Amino acid sequence: MKLKRLIFVISAIGLFTFSQTNAQNKMNLDFAHADQTINKNIYGHFAEHLGRCIYDGIWVGPDSEIPNINGYRKDIVDALKELNIPVLRWPGGCFADTYHWKDGVGPVEERANIKNYFWGGVIEDNSFGTHEFLNLCELLGADPYISANVGSGSVEEMVDWIEYMTSDEDIPMANWRRENGREEPWDVKFLGIGNESWGCGGDMRPEYYSDLLRQYSLYARVYGEGKFQRVGCGANGSDYHWTDIVMGRAARHMDALSVHYYTIATGDWGNKSSATDFGEELYFSALQNAGHMDELISKHSAMMDKHDPHKRVPLFVDEWGIWTDPEPGSTPGFLYQQNSMRDALIAATTFDIFHKHADRVKMANIAQAVNVLQAMILTEDDKMVLTPTYHIFNMYKVHQDATYIPVLLQSEDYKYGEESIPAISGTASKKDGKVNISLSNLNPNEKKTVEVDVEGGNLSSVINASLLTAPKINSVNTFDNPEVVKPVEFSDYKLKKETLTVTLPPHSVVTLQLQ
Ligand code: AHR
């Protein structure tokens, strides 16, 4: 008898059960308890002044020969728009902790060069600053999420920035913005009070940061007049003590708390391993480590409940993704890595986890949008390539702002050595009269059939079905071969009465839409 796993649920009133069939892999949809919205901001992005994310990746300047819209690469803007990118975090990351925004406004030729201390020590010309970022957000239709400098900045600097960006009054900062060519204030929805204040953002203890959070937040509110959500700097991975102290001392002074978690295939920051040159062992361990996100959110959320039982303060996972060794030959401080079918599975299964925690997780920002870490897009001169992770964001966008349908999942194990993880991951949502179901098969060696019980959904047909898989677990898209991993139409399913039977190829992700 094969080992099976039950992945729990979920619903407020308890268990619901599986239909009596012999299937090894089953997913039941609990339509009766579908009452949480999957916040579209879970599909958010992050663009830092790091390596070739901003310069080269997003911004080439209006005089570039690369086709651009006022300096923004047209191919990148089009590709990001296709994802319905809801929110974009900027300027960092650690870069935000040394960024002084006044250096980056005014006539471009008069802007001071700055040194990017954390990322390669490169000198930047500051041609991409506040105007360029906020106008990009407008172009993309995304909400801006600004990370204020608490590490080496000041309250004064932050409130000046707030006034510059958001005031429509006759006051110096708003007038300076007008002089610099922008009459109307921008609509800034999110303000991060520090980034990684426990590390590159000031190496602080949670007690000290809590006091700073209270101070900065107060003035962010006074000068921002309730215009945006103030995001407190959260923990490094599983540092629940940080969450306990910051929530205990400052929960009232923030509108969200963040957390950062990166997947390291080896579990060793000193030897992260290659993005492309790996076998099944590192494929397995990367997926296993990515799955740790579930425990992490549950435990941070429980700690937050201690101080905020009504869940007023949401959790923003505002940095996540797989972090590997940089590509051989690239500048180490630029964090440029390829992106494989393994990373697509990490993205899909992480979204399944975020959906499950839709009551607490209201934003997530994958690191990062272009050319850095688990990127959506890679560029080389005028060429660009969409990564497998990009395709998952595209396939999963049907879940944005949809109602989460709790799922009960029974899965075979995917075993490697002495360890095992569930072979199947899945999620479901409903929106505009349609039901969206995503399923992943993590087993790289065997196809898997899943029976999805859709009783109660009143569904009669599958109207859309797409599949992402690849020849190998480490298949990638390259500039010469950009379509090795790309979604195709999927047909290996059957909807009979109230059971949808889906057969998933090895290492694959499927999204189906039913009505
Ligand atoms: O995303 C890369 C870096 O990871 C960010 O700058 C920092 O916040 C985190 O440590």
Q: Write out the two tokens for 371.
A: 């050319």
Residue 10: pLDDT over 60: no
Residue 275: pLDDT over 60: yes
Please identify, by atom number, the ligand 1 atom nearest to the C-alpha of residue 319: 1
| Candidate of 45, 52, 197, 200 to mutate for ligand 1, largest count of ligand atoms within 8 Å of Cβ | 200
Residue 311: pLDDT over 50: yes
Summarize pLDDT for 399-413 with one digit per residue, the tens. Answer: 999 999 999 999 999
Share in percent of the chain as helix, strand, coil (round to 5) = 30, 30, 45
Ligand 1 pocket, residue 457 CB under 6 Å: no
**Do 134 and 21 reside in the same domain of the chain?**
no
Closest C-alpha to ligand 1, atom 3: 93
Closest C-alpha to ligand 1, atom 9: 93
User: Percent of the chain at pLDDT above 90?
Assistant: 95
What is the pLDDT at residue 12? 39
Q: How far is the CA of 137 from the centre of ligand 1 (A)?
A: 21
Please identify, by atom number, the ligand 1 atom nearest to the C-alpha of residue 368: 1
**Do 409 and 399 reside in the same domain of the chain?**
no
**Do 146 and 181 reside in the same domain of the chain?**
yes
Ligand 1 pocket, residue 97 CB under 6 Å: no
Q: Where are the alpha helices (DSSP H) in 262-291?
A: 280-290
Ligand 1 pocket, residue 318 CB under 6 Å: no
So which residues are the catalytic ones? 196, 319
**Do 463 and 378 reside in the same domain of the chain?**
no
Number of separate domains in the chain: 2
Identify the helix (H) or strand (E) that includes residue 421: strand 419-422
Confidence of residue 13 (pLDDT cuts 50, 70, 90): very low
Q: How far is the CA of 94 from the centre of ligand 1 (A)?
A: 6
DSSP for 23-34?
-SEEEEE-GGG-
Residues in the chain: 515
Ligand 1 pocket, residue 195 CB under 6 Å: yes
**Do 213 and 237 reside in the same domain of the chain?**
yes
Average pLDDT score over residue span 167-181: 98
Question: Average per-residue pLDDT in the chain?
Answer: 96
Q: Closest Cα partner for 147 from 59, 48, 43?
A: 48
Average pLDDT score over residue span 194-198: 98
User: Percent of the chain at pLDDT above 70?
Assistant: 96
Confidence of residue 22 (pLDDT cuts 50, 70, 90): confident
Return d(Cα 116, Cα 51) in angstroms, integer.
10
- The beta-strand segments (E) located in 123-181 are 123-124, 143-148
Its pTM stands at 0.96
| Candidate of 49, 50, 54, 94 to mutate for ligand 1, largest count of ligand atoms within 8 Å of Cβ | 94
Q: Which of 366, 385, 404 is the last residue of a domain?
A: 404
Q: 511 and 500 in contact (C-beta within 8 Å)?
A: no
Ligand 1 pocket, residue 30 CB under 6 Å: no
Ligand 1 pocket, residue 367 CB under 6 Å: yes
Confidence of residue 11 (pLDDT cuts 50, 70, 90): very low
Closest C-alpha to ligand 1, atom 1: 367
Which CATH number characterizes residue 155's domain? 3.20.20.80
Domain that holds residue 179: 37-404
**Do 368 and 468 reside in the same domain of the chain?**
no
Confidence of residue 19 (pLDDT cuts 50, 70, 90): low
**Do 388 and 414 reside in the same domain of the chain?**
no
Average pLDDT score over residue span 308-315: 97
**Do 360 and 427 reside in the same domain of the chain?**
no
What is the pLDDT at residue 3? 45
Which CATH number characterizes residue 409's domain? 2.60.40.1180
Q: Which of 404, 436, 461 is the last residue of a domain?
A: 404
Residue 38: pLDDT over 90: yes
Ligand 1 pocket, residue 325 CB under 6 Å: no
Place of tokens 């991060």: 192
Q: How far is the CA of 309 from the centre of ligand 1 (A)?
A: 30
**Do 73 and 144 reside in the same domain of the chain?**
yes
